[in-house]
Every structure is written in C-alpha cells, then in structure tokens.
Amino acid sequence: MRWQHFELWFGFLGGTTYDITFPDKTDLNADLKSDLEKLFSKTAKSNDVVISEVAGRNALSVKTVELNEKQRNTLNAALEKTYGVDEKNIENQNISASVSDDMKSDAVTAVVIAVICMLIYIWFRFKDVIFAGSAVLALIHDVIAVILVYGLTKISVGNTFIACMLTIVGYSINATIVIFDRIRENLQVHSSEEALAEVVNESITQTLTRSINTSLTTIITVVVLAILGVDSVKDFAIPLLAGFICGGYSSVCITGTLWYSWKRVQFKRKKAKK
C-alpha cells in the first residue's frame, strides 16, 4: 500500500465529496453502487473511491480524489443521463488539504492530551511511574491498531474519528486499571523479585472473568451496530469494534507483561547499586 494511498483514506490529503440524491424509484442496491464506483474511478483515474448511503434520503455520498472542473462536469452529465438524476440533486465540494490537515492535527492533539492526562492520573493513583508507562504503551498499541483498520478497510475519516479514538482510549484504560489495582493489592503479600511473575499471573487470572464479560457485552453491542446500522454508523462501529478487541487484548496480555519486565529491571538496578 503506497503511503499516498494510505494518507488519502485518513483524510490527510484533499479530495472531492459528492452527495447524489436519486429518484425515489431508484433502488440503491449493490449493483448500482458498483457501477457508480466504476464511473467515478474511470473519471478520476483513481481507484480511491468510497461510497456510503445518506441516512433519511434516497441518496449516496461518494468520496474520491480531488477532481477538476472538467471531471466534475463529466460526472454530472453521466449521472443525469444514466441514472436520471436532476442536476439540482447533485452536490459536490472539494475538501482542501488544509482542512484535512486541521482534522489530522485535532485528532493527534486530542489523543495526546488524553494519553498525557491518563499517564499523570495513573502515576498519582498507583504512586509508580512503571504502572503509568505500561498503560500508556498499551494505549498507543490500541490507537495504532485502529488507525491500521481505517487504512485497510478504506473507511474515510470524518467527525467520528476523534470520538472513536477517545472512546477506545477510555475503554482500554478502564480494564487496565482493574488489573493494576489487583497487582497492587497482591504486591502487599508478595513483593519480592522472585514473586513478581506469580503476582502478575494471579492478578490477571483473578480479573480475567470480569475482563471477558465486560469485553463481550460491549463487543456484542457494537457488532449489532456494525451489522444493522446505516453506512455512517458502520464507519464508526467497525473501527470501534477493532479498538475494543485490541483494548481487551492489550489490557490482559500486554500491560501486565510490560509492568513485569520493567519491574524486574528496576529490581536489578537496585541490586547493582548495593
């Protein structure tokens, strides 16, 4: 996957958006969407085309690379001739790269602020920077995984992108804190270096049922949204589903391992100083 292609689907570059309202008798089926995709791909000379239904109207939204005036006129004529769409029901606008850059900047800023606040919160709550560092690295893992899902599924980035990222960060940190709380309690009984692995394993085992139940109930709800929701809801639900799965996995399998590894290094450094 070329980096330019990857950036397009994340809204980091400019593009053109079409809102096409079809006659009421027109069925917005898979064949029509496929034909429309071919039409836009041929005109734009690019396969970067995303089509979604518009809620509440017999209309489709099409996003593609930035089109010049000649290309837009060609598309308008083809839509009128082939599908009987009235010219006044064809709306298009170019999204400049500067607008896309603003969205990218806002998304990065929001996630960074959220992660820093959580780092400070966990640091003060557990009185140990290792807990905070382990949790933040797991959060970064979750965010990167969701970004990859956006790229691989070619879901266009809209206003829900930032909300999706922050929701995943909040969900993932909640499960992590539960596990860390149990680790802190068990450390009061076993605090030696030799017992660290046992403490982590025991803490994860004690909270595993709770983690599985919480993840499953959340995932089931989002799966229903992804299946039954309109395209705009699916564009939000699919990345959210991937984030919840990654968040549940990272909380159980990654955070404890990171904490254990760093804690062992800390013990060894203390021994070396002595």
CATH value at residue 43 = 3.30.70.100
**Contact present, 236 and 160 (Cβ < 8 Å):** yes
Domain match, 7 and 76 both? yes
Tens of pLDDT, residue by residue over 38-97, are 998 888 888 888 888 887 788 888 888 888 888 888 998 998 888 888 888 888 887 655
Place of tokens 């804690």: 263
- ∠ CA 151-152-154, rounded to 5°: 65
Q: How far apart are CA 108 and CA 6, in angstroms?
A: 17
Q: How far is CA 196 from the centre of its chain?
A: 34
Q: What are the residue ranges of helices labelled H in 154-253?
A: 160-187, 196-228, 231-253
Domain match, 250 and 128 both? yes
Domain match, 109 and 24 both? no
* Of 246, 97, 237, nearest in space to 169 by CA: 246
**Contact present, 252 and 211 (Cβ < 8 Å):** yes
Say how many domains are in the chain.
2
Tens of pLDDT, residue by residue over 184-211, are 888 888 767 678 888 889 999 999 898 8
Q: Which of 58, 75, 95 is the last residue of a domain?
A: 95
In the predicted structure, residue 154 carries a pLDDT above the cut 80 = no
The DSSP result for 120-169, as a single string, is HHHHHHHT-HHHHHHHHHHHHHHHHHHHHHHHHHTPPP-THHHHHHHHHH
Return the biggest CA–CA distance within the chain: 84
**Contact present, 204 and 256 (Cβ < 8 Å):** yes
Domain match, 114 and 165 both? yes
> Domain of 167?
98-273
Q: Which of 95, 114, 133 is the last residue of a domain?
A: 95
Domain match, 265 and 227 both? yes
Tokens of 205: 């085992």
Domain match, 91 and 198 both? no
How many CB atoms lie under 10 A from the CB of residue 143?
22
The pTM for the full model equals 0.65
Residues near 78 by Cβ (< 8 Å), separated by ≥ 6? 39, 43
Q: Which CATH number is 132's domain given?
A: 1.20.1640.10
Q: Which of 95, 111, 126 is the last residue of a domain?
A: 95
Calculate mean pLDDT across residues 217-224.
90
In the predicted structure, residue 273 carries a pLDDT above the cut 60 = yes
Place of tokens 């308008």: 76
Name the residue with higher pLDDT: 172 or 107: 172
Domain match, 124 and 239 both? yes
Task: Compute CA distances 8 → 56, 103, 142, 151, 179, whole Å.
Answer: 27, 13, 21, 9, 38
Domain match, 127 and 211 both? yes
Domain match, 74 and 200 both? no
Task: Compute CA distances 74 → 34, 194, 199, whole Å.
Answer: 18, 72, 67
Domain match, 84 and 103 both? no
When pLDDT is cut at 50, 70 and 90, the band that residue 158 belongs to is low
Domain match, 40 and 104 both? no
Domain match, 191 and 89 both? no
Q: Is 62 helix (H, G, I), strand (E, B) or coil?
A: strand
